[in-house]
Amino acid sequence: MKIYATYNIKGGVGKTSAAVNLAHLASASGYRALLWDLDPQGAATYLFRVKPKVKGGSRALVCGTRPLDDAIKATDFDRLDLLPADFSYRNLDLQLDDMKRPTRRIRQLLRPLDGEYDVVFLDCPPSISLLSENVLHAVDTLLVPMIPATLSVRTLDQLVSFVGDLDGRQPQVCSFFSMVDRRKRLHCDLVDHLGAERPGILSTVIPSLSIVEQMAVHRAPVTVFAPHSHAAECYEALWGELNETETD
Ligand SMILES: Nc1ncnc2c1ncn2[C@@H]1O[C@H](COP(=O)(O)OP(=O)(O)OP(=O)(O)O)[C@@H](O)[C@H]1O
Ligand SMILES: [Mg+2]
């Protein structure tokens, strides 16, 4: 079971859009896929038309009184399941902090799902918190969407250094440029130069395309309602590149 997280300290950078499309592409290519919505905003839950209601709230899942398996919902797509978020997820940090090994809890909770799924995507809220630390310990690959801007690169550097300081196994950090607008000089400069110079930045770029925003209207991945669109092609390329950059 390979575990990815779409993560960035910054908000509104394309984490959920990537998680939803990649999870769909993974399932369409034959993998048994699970998307765990870890964000109290519940955007991924909404996009997959699942009710944002978690019986017992996130506390029951974190404490283990309710196994994850029990809270998993089917989506409209074969081989693709969703672990929904509701507003109780706003307290996830406090709940994790009450556990014995507070930074390893998410990893421990996912362990029994090994064998049931080939690939898991964690859609993270924008923050750097105890939950983020849990995610870093749980995943094989951290997928970091980045809107081209000097400060975004600085944030990526902070994240890479934080990951480098982690005890034990460290996840691979794969960043990619998101919401790229080729009419902006700075976007072109950063994508063309930084992408080539820096290791850890994927060559696939997700452009700024209004069809991606329409996911919220269709409540479906763009790879489903517009499978031949340029946006869908870009997410396919991203999924292809991720599969090529496997380290293990
Ligand atoms: N490539 C894109 N082109 C245009 N709009 C996009 C693109 N990717 C995402 N968006 C839009 O930008 C907004 C934020 O995207 P998304 O929810 O994927 O980001 P996020 O990083 O998950 O946000 P949050 O930090 O709030 O969880 C949404 O309205 C989404 O439809
Ligand atoms: Mg999101």
Predicted confidence at residue 233, as pLDDT, reads 98
Residue 66 to residue 214: CA distance in whole angstroms = 35
Ligand 1 atom having least distance to the Cα of 20: 18
Predicted confidence at residue 247, as pLDDT, reads 52
Ligand 1 atom having least distance to the Cα of 231: 1
Residue 28 to residue 25: CA distance in whole angstroms = 5
DSSP H or E run through 151: helix 150-164
- Torsion region of 168: left, alpha or beta (phi above 0 gives left; psi -120 to 50 gives alpha): left
Q: For residue 14, how far is its CA from the centre of ligand 1 (angstroms)?
A: 4
DSSP H or E run through 154: helix 150-164
Predicted confidence at residue 248, as pLDDT, reads 45
Q: For residue 89, how far is its CA from the centre of ligand 2 (angstroms)?
A: 13
Predicted confidence at residue 199, as pLDDT, reads 86
Instruction: Report strand pairing: 80-83 vs 73-74.
Output: antiparallel
- Taking only the tens place, the pLDDT of each residue in 33-69 is 999 999 999 999 999 999 999 999 999 999 999 999 9
Ligand 1 atom having least distance to the Cα of 125: 27
Segments of the chain with pLDDT less than 50: 248
Structure tokens at 109: 């909770």
- Residue nearest atom 31 in ligand 1 by C-alpha distance: 213
Residue 104 to residue 139: CA distance in whole angstroms = 11
Predicted confidence at residue 197, as pLDDT, reads 85
Q: How many residues does the chain have?
A: 248
- Which of 8, 13, 16, 17 has the most ligand 1 atoms within 8 A of CB, as the residue to mutate? 17
Q: Compute the CA torsion angle 93, 94, 99, 103 (nearest 10 deg).
A: 20
Cβ-based neighbour number of residue 212 at 10 Å: 24
CA distances from 33 to 30, 78, 203, 207 (A): 9, 9, 24, 25
Burial class (CB in 10 A: 0-12, 13-18, 19+), 72: middle
Q: Which residues line ligand 1 (CB under 6 A)?
A: 11-17, 39, 41, 43, 126, 178-179, 206, 208-209, 212-213, 215-216
Q: For residue 130, how far is its CA from the centre of ligand 2 (angstroms)?
A: 17
Residue 23 to residue 215: CA distance in whole angstroms = 14
DSSP helix, strand, coil percent of the chain (3-state; round to 5): 45, 20, 35
21 Cβ neighbours under 8 A, 6+ residues apart: 221, 222, 223, 232, 235
Residue 36 to residue 44: CA distance in whole angstroms = 9
